Amino acid sequence: MFDDFKAYFQENIISSYLDYIKVKNSKKAGISNDLKSATNAATNLYHLREHLPSSVSKTRSELSLICPDYDLLGDIVNATKHKKIKNNNPQVSDAKNIFEQIVVTEYQDKLGPFSHKEKCVIVKLNDGTERDLFEILTNVINMWLKVLNKANLIDSVKQFSLKPKRLPRRSKQNQKLDLQLIKGIRFRQVYKMQKYNYSTGQAEPIDLSDKKFEMRIYKPQFDVSMELTDNNGEKIKLDIQVDKIQKRKLESLKTDQSRLRLFMKMAKEQGVINDFKEKPSE
């Protein structure tokens, strides 16, 4: 990886940035995977200047003039490495001010309101300002794409976009987010509640000062699907959720017919169907 700059950039910089996007888009939170992946990408992006050929080397100050967020990224990387920093008037000086957040946004469609959950890593600056680390990473990687292409160190690469292509739609996947916990280890999760304003095209915070919340904990669930064919030849897909024991029981059955019987029994218990007796599709 270290023998060729172009390979290093692809295998270490682009790869770690895309890895964070993959973790960010996953539907699991709770054990700091987002924070670990984001700070790994931040570290690689910040220290890339140390791998530049001497003929095009640049200082932190020079890069910060091109992209101010590069300077902020340096403080983030140093804070996560040393826990607390104070030299050179840092914008963020304590690693505890870099944390994961789950953002719950309420949208509206023809069926009524629905929620969309997404994860982000927040950086709380010393002046009280909060920034999304993904935005900072994207600004810095786009800066590198321009600088390195201009220096003929990499081929032209399309800039990364921060904005989603469209607003979220109602779906089970959008509303689902599993929380992972480790027994005996502290659990910290920060939430932000907001509502999308279709007039302004912006999400606005919801006042929660007089609200009460309840948290329910369930056993880990697995999604199981089965495709059936009715008497008219129409294919029907049924989805249920099972726990670990039910999943093992389904997997241990030897025939399609026995799996179907157990699946239909659990589907009926979960209210997915009332009464359904069909053979599984081929």
Amino acid at 7: A
Distance CA 262, CA 23 (A): 34
pLDDT at 220: 66
Enter the tokens of residue 221.
Answer: 């669930």
The count of C-alpha atoms lying within 13 angstroms of the C-alpha of 120, restricted to the half-sphere facing its C-beta, is 19
Q: What is the pLDDT of residues 171-219, one digit of tens each?
A: 766 667 788 888 888 888 888 999 999 999 899 988 887 777 776 666 6
User: Residue-wise pLDDT tens for the chain (282 aa)?
Assistant: 567 899 999 999 999 999 999 999 998 888 999 999 999 999 999 999 999 998 889 999 999 999 999 999 999 999 999 999 998 899 999 999 999 999 999 998 888 888 889 999 999 999 999 999 999 999 999 999 999 999 999 988 889 988 776 888 877 666 677 888 888 888 888 889 999 999 998 999 888 877 777 766 666 677 888 787 767 777 777 888 888 888 889 889 989 889 888 988 888 887 777 655 544 444
**Phi and psi at residue 131, in whole multiples of 5°?**
-125, 145
pTM attached to this predicted model: 0.74
pLDDT at 69: 97
DSSP result, the chain: -TT-HHHHIIIIIIHHHHHHHHHHHSSEESSSHHHHHHHHHHHHHHHGGGGS-GGG---HHHHHHH-HHHHHHHHHHHHHHHSB--TT--S--BGGGEEEEEEEEEEEETTEEEEEEEEEEEEE-TTS-EEEHHHHHHHHHHHHHHHHHHTTSS---PPPP-S-SS-----HHHH--EE---TTS----EEEEEEEETTTTEEEEPP-TT-----------EEEEEEEE-TTS-EEEEEEEE-HHHHHHHHH--SHHHHHHHHHHHHHHTTS-SS---PBP-
Distance CA 244, CA 211 (A): 35
Which residue reads 């600056």 in tokens?
125
